[in-house]
Amino acid sequence: FSVFPRMKVKIKSEIVTLHRSDCDPTESKGVYVKPEQWNDLLNDPECLVVDTRNEYEIHVGTFRNAINPHTQNFVEFPDWMKQHVAGENAPKKIAMFCTGGIR
């Protein structure tokens, strides 16, 4: 008896794909925040909080004052960041979150 009679395993280069060669999360990433520090970021007026999840997940619930980028998929997210929080408009701090911590 097998739970997965025809199981296939595929190796993927990215879990959540960006389709970009100029972005490598193993070389360039932000600071991971411990759960105990998250509320401090949420309450910091100099911190922009961005919800990177999809519309359904955001509709179910999000953090107060979190920005919804209204992207259809994560491939669109880097362009949204460039348009809304880059250059002179860049906040001092940006905190992003998702459901599983993989984005």
Active-site residue 98, yes or no? yes
Dihedrals phi, psi of 15, to nearest 5 degrees: -75, -50
Query: What's the rounded Cα separation, in Å, for the pair 93 and 103?
Result: 18
Among candidate residues 16, 67, 85, 98, the one labeled active-site is 98
CA 5 to chain centre: 35
The token pair that represents 32 in the structure block:
């991971």
Active site residues: 98
